[in-house]
Structure 1
Amino acid sequence: MASEFRLGAGLRLAVTTFTTLPLPAGRIDRAVAGTAMAVAPLVGAGLGVLLGGVLLGLAQVAPPLVAAALTVTVGTLVTRGLHLDGLADTVDALGSYRRGPAALEIMKKPDVGPFGVAALVLVLLVQAAVLAELAARPGPAAFAAVVAATAAGRLGVTVACRRGVPAARPDGLGALVAGTVGPVAVLAGTVAVALVAVAAVPGRPWQGPLAVLAALTAVLLLLRHLVRRLGGVTGDVLGAVVEVTTTGVYVGVVLSG
């Protein structure tokens, strides 16, 4: 009974953390937070289903680039733009070349610096470009690509919250979720997202899973650097991880060779 309650509370926390869906607040502690981060890819997959449906629907009535831009807009609205904000703050901190508390102080500032702006423009541009390419050839593969990339973004958070990764601050979202996810959840999430990605590239069942693994590898390297620079993860870092992983998978599924 206790495990079922924790699963329900964790799923609810994951939904309210990664989307704007209004659900009543329940119990929140590190055990529930760990469950939420473990099931984050499931919430990402649900969000991917929504965005994939939006993209393919718009592709029937609008030019590919318009369909892509509107899909990116919907994705931003349903996530409150929190992940993009985290990306901008994290890149600003890295661009400052400061470490520890000094870098964390930059991340807390409400304004966005030039490094953050550049990161936002590049990420949104790449995502829109890839979605435009998918909208130009709508079908099950394009839909699977959107679902896999969106789920992979949240899988990146699962990886970032695995045991052994510290929090940069003693409070905040990072402190609540850091180190709460065990290896089984990380492995299960990776396998599940990779299986979804199999259908993302017609005729190349290996390319989607490879894109997922490559994006996660890049995130692991990024996390190693961020832990060294900041001392651990924060809520902003988790937001940055979402965008970096999602964008990496998007790029991986449209590459041709």
Structure 2
Amino acid sequence: MPAESRLLAGARLAVTTFTTAPVRPGRIDRPVAGTAMALAPAVGALLGALLAGVLLLSGAFAPPLVAAGVTVGAAALLTRGLHLDGLADTVDALGSYRRGAAALEIMKKPDVGPFGVVALVVVLLVQAAALADLAGRSWPACVAAVVTATAAGRFGVTVACRRGVPAARPDGLGALVAGTVGPVALAVGALAVALLAVPAVPGRPWQGPLAVVAALAVAAPLLTHVVRRLGGITGDVLGATVEVVTTLVYLGLVLSG
């Protein structure tokens, strides 16, 4: 498959995987999936720019906390709520203290258990509180912060799909994308997200990238634990990774301000 065609197909797959944009996916195979996962931070940055616009626009007519709530709702709407669903399913599986196939069966259940509910409440509250704080900052810093957090959350997926990380199931999204991202894509993604983070904390250009590094440093052992418990990654695990990293970056940026 020509590099240009793979890039286009990967971009389409990335957009359809991480957003509700009406884009038809092209060819889908593991090389294309690897390209899609490498492009995940770029899709996250575009989504973050849109969400920053929602936050600033709604903040012009409503109190910061209300604007933050609208933005959190918009994020869920623009991603079909799939990342939040993945978070709830993953936490429920971990909370069951089961391993392997038994834990994976819990993740397939359509209902949400108490652990999943608590995880959703905590993540949504922290995100809303952080966005309310960011809404009170200068608009360039606000936009940079939201773009950074959203892109970093998707870069967490890029990291989770690196070579050496297995799939927990022989089918599904995890099987398609596990182990498809090489070191060059990881390095490029890390540099891109770090550059996006530079203006997120005005006057202290190092603190934005530091917040991203800290978030990934916390998320990395959590991902390792999940892979050990489940035997690999699944689509739900990737969704959970998005929400955890995004929330941690928001928290870090707020504390840095």
Smaller-chain TM-score range?
over 0.9
SS class of match (1:255): helix
CA distance in 2, matches of 1:25, 1:48: 22
Runs of 4+ off more than 6 Å: none
8 Å contact from structure 1 (residues 161, 180) kept in 2: yes
Shift of 1:25: 2.8
CA distance in 2, matches of 1:100, 1:81: 25
Aligned to 1:73: 73
CA distance in 1, matches of 2:256, 2:14: 35
Aligned to 1:190: 190
CA distance in 2, matches of 1:234, 1:217: 21
Shift of 1:220: 1.3
Residue type of the alignment partner of 2:17: T
Aligned to 1:140: 140
Give the gaps of 5 or more residues in structure 2: none
RMSD (CA atoms): 1.0
CA distance in 1, matches of 2:21, 2:44: 13
CA distance in 2, matches of 1:227, 1:76: 25
Residue type of the alignment partner of 2:111: D
Give the gaps of 5 or more residues in structure 1: none
SS class of match (1:53): helix
SS class of match (1:233): coil
Between Structure 1 and Structure 2, how many residues are aligned?
A: 257
How is 1:240-251 mapped onto 2 (pairs within 5 angstroms)? Answer: 240-251=240-251
TM-score (norm 1): 0.98
CA distance in 1, matches of 2:25, 2:223: 30
Aligned to 2:50: 50
2:154 is the counterpart of 1:154? yes
8 Å contact from structure 1 (residues 89, 236) kept in 2: yes
CA distance in 2, matches of 1:256, 1:182: 32
TM-score (norm 2): 0.98
CA distance in 2, matches of 1:24, 1:240: 25
Shift of 1:185: 0.5
Aligned to 1:253: 253
CA distance in 2, matches of 1:138, 1:53: 13
SS class of match (2:23): coil
8 Å contact from structure 2 (residues 167, 174) kept in 1: yes
Aligned to 1:218: 218
CA distance in 2, matches of 1:256, 1:175: 38
Aligned to 1:19: 19
CA distance in 2, matches of 1:44, 1:137: 21
Residue type of the alignment partner of 2:83: H
CA distance in 2, matches of 1:102, 1:200: 42
